[in-house]
Copies of this chain bind each other. A is one copy, B any other.
Amino acid sequence: MAVRVQQEDFDIGLELAQLTKGNPSVGGLCSFVGLVRDLNDGNSVATLTLEHYPGMTEKQLERIEAEAHDRWPLEASLIIHRFGTMHPEENIVLVATASAHRGAAFDACHFIMDYLKTEAPFWKVEATDAGERWVSERDSDGEARDRWKD
């Protein structure tokens, strides 16, 4: 289990290799990478800047990760989330989960992303062709999270 909130980019291949290295109980490794798109809500995006709440961010991410471990039999997991200013095609977030079997790895990774989207204190502001714009929450993100509630 590990959470990192950082400005610098990450090396996906390296991170995934380190996550499973030396653990032959891992049969499935699921990962998700969120990237900056050059178009959002009809406007072209030059840069995306992420602001966060240091301290609360790490707490929330660690809580979400621990909840995933409670729900599924995970061998390992990793959450890396960047802040600062980024350009299209840059990595924003990496979530990876490893388990003996694929179902747990898929579900835990998806669960972490859905919760991260709605419960981790990050905010995005875009520099677009129509000026600076704070990204709005999406109803679909709340619905995606609520799927996991019983």
The chain A residues found within 8 Å of chain B, CB to CB, are 11-14, 16-17, 20-39, 88-89, 100, 102-103, 105-106, 109-110, 113, 140, 144
Contact across chains for B106 and A32 when beta carbons are under 8 A apart: yes
Across-interface contacts of A100 in B (CB, < 8 A): 37
* Nearest B residue to A25, CB-CB: B37
Q: Give the Cβ gap from A143 to chain B, nearest Cβ, in Å.
A: 10
- The distance in angstroms between the C-alpha atoms of A13 and B113, with both chains bound, is 20
Contact across chains for A35 and B29 when beta carbons are under 8 A apart: yes
* Nearest B residue to A26, CB-CB: B35
- The distance in angstroms between the C-alpha atoms of A144 and B16, with both chains bound, is 25
- The answer to whether residues A35 and B20 also contact, given A30-B30, A102-B113, A106-B106 and a CB cut-off of 8 A, is yes
Across-interface contacts of A14 in B (CB, < 8 A): 13
Q: Of B17, B33, B103, which contacts A144 at CB under 8 A?
A: B103
A17, A33, A103, A113: most-surrounded residue (chain B CB, <10 A): A33
Enumerate 28 A-B pairs (CB-CB under 8 Å) in ascending A order: A12-B17, A13-B13, A13-B14, A13-B16, A24-B36, A24-B38, A24-B89, A25-B38, A25-B39, A26-B35, A26-B89, A27-B35, A27-B36, A27-B37, A28-B32, A28-B33, A28-B34, A29-B33, A30-B31, A30-B109, A31-B32, A32-B102, A32-B106, A34-B102, A37-B100, A106-B106, A106-B109, A106-B110
Q: Give the Cβ gap from A128 to chain B, nearest Cβ, in Å.
A: 14
